[in-house]
Amino acid sequence: MNFLWGAATSSYQIEGAATADGRTPSIWDTFSRTPGKVKNGETGDVACDHYHRYPDDIRLMSELGLRAYRFSVAWPRIVPEPGTVNPKGLDFYSHLVDTLLERDITPWPTLYHWDLPQYLEDAGGWPNRDTAYRFAEYAALVHDRLSDRVTNWTTLNEPWCSSLLGYAAGEHAPGRTEPGKAIEAVHHLLLGHGLAVQNLSGKVGITLNMTHVTPATGSPEDADAARRIDGLQNRLFIDPVLLGSYPEDVVKDLAHLSDFGHVREGDLDTISLPIDMLGINYYSPALVAAGNESGGLTPWIGAEDVRWVDGGRARTTMNWEIDEQGLLDLLRRIQKDYPAVDLYITENGAAFADEVSADGGVHDAGRVDYLSRHIEACAEAVRDGVQLKGYFAWSLLDNFEWAHGYGQRFGIVHVDFETQKRTPKDSALWYASRIKRPL
């Protein structure tokens, strides 16, 4: 089996160079500079300085034996103002792709990993239907420049986060708390995906962050809680893409917020255009029960009265429970319930409090264990007949972890953010050894 092994990053989290070579602000530049939004007031202005250090980072990828690199393209580098194209932005990604290919590493670009140009947010953002068309135009620009060398394209990364965290909960950029607008954002993100598919060639897909949801007890109330969370986290996104419809029960759950009048005739046909691959980002399971005493506005619009239950498992420093069985169950479920499509784990990893030891190493045994267990779950899924074709560890580098700033380290490579020194952790060395063997 020709299984693809790689690692993943995203533009705002690692590139830095926030104003270099014509780049203009994204919603994450604005959000991170707004007091109280990001831990310690940190921003991605410098991050890992990958924009200037990418040749060395790619050399490190090669030394680790990575066969593919999943990165994202910064939309504000390519279209810094409405109707303009920035040659220097396209040049950066062209040079990045060339350098990857020189090292025999397959480039795997994602066109949108949350860094919407601020001028588009000023015009309404993702709740504005026009943004979907602007995304398709931008996708065509990048494709036209790179398609002679790039054959694997991901349109969106985790539209759940872009819509519900960004426009309902306000926990991510742009920081709005408008649930009805968040539902419109869901649709326009997916519409943008479908419109972009029409402008791309090669192997094209989308990445969804999905989880395995189970009820805490056998009660009907807890079963309904699990149904609602599964609907909002998983089915609201995968059903339109692979089945061409929104799940009826979720539409009913959200009826008090939206009549879905923003869905126009033909939209779902566009959203469900055939794709070649589905990326799955998996980190943690969801054990849920009815009854949320805290209430308040959450990304779980339509399920505010659901609470998360402690499953008694070990947790990462993100307070996420570790459960590789959830990944296996999720993969089996997708294979069983949806039309056949190649699956890739496009993100999977864990945050821990990593430090450089006196011997100069970073001994992250917890991450080695996490990766080992989840990769074995992938292997079991393949033995079960799941159409899983590749795995990307999240992340190559410690980076700017969104609203958590630099306090959460997901990298298999440690980054000293003062000196920008890279130190492969034990997990990187383990992963380099593991990927030499068959899945």
Q: Which residues are catalytic?
A: 158, 347
Closest CA to 181 of 192, 199, 168, 190: 168
* Contact of 391 with 324, CB cutoff 8 Å: no
Q: Is 342 helix (H, G, I), strand (E, B) or coil?
A: strand
For residue 69, list its beta bridge partners: 7, 107
d(CA 23, CA 255): 40
Contacts 24+ apart (CB under 8 A), 81-88: 81/24, 81/119, 82/119, 85/141, 86/21, 86/22, 86/23, 88/21, 88/22
- 200-234 as b/e: b if 16+ CB within 10 A: beebbbbbbbbbbbbbbeeeeebbbbbbbbbbbbb
For residue 185, count other CB atoms closer than 10 A to its CB.
Answer: 27
* Contact of 436 with 65, CB cutoff 8 Å: yes
Q: Which residues contact 374 (CB under 8 A, 6 or more apart)?
A: 282, 324, 327, 345, 348
d(CA 100, CA 56): 11
d(CA 226, CA 215): 5
Compute φ and ψ for 81, nearest 5 degrees: -140, 155
Closest CA to 208 of 310, 327, 345, 50: 345
Helix (H) or strand (E) holding 315: none
d(CA 243, CA 396): 33
* Contact of 419 with 358, CB cutoff 8 Å: no
d(CA 212, CA 329): 7
Q: How many separate helices (H) and strands (E) can be counted in the chain?
A: 16, 13
Residue 323 DSSP symbol: -
What is the dihedral sign for C-alpha 324, 327, 328, 330?
A: positive
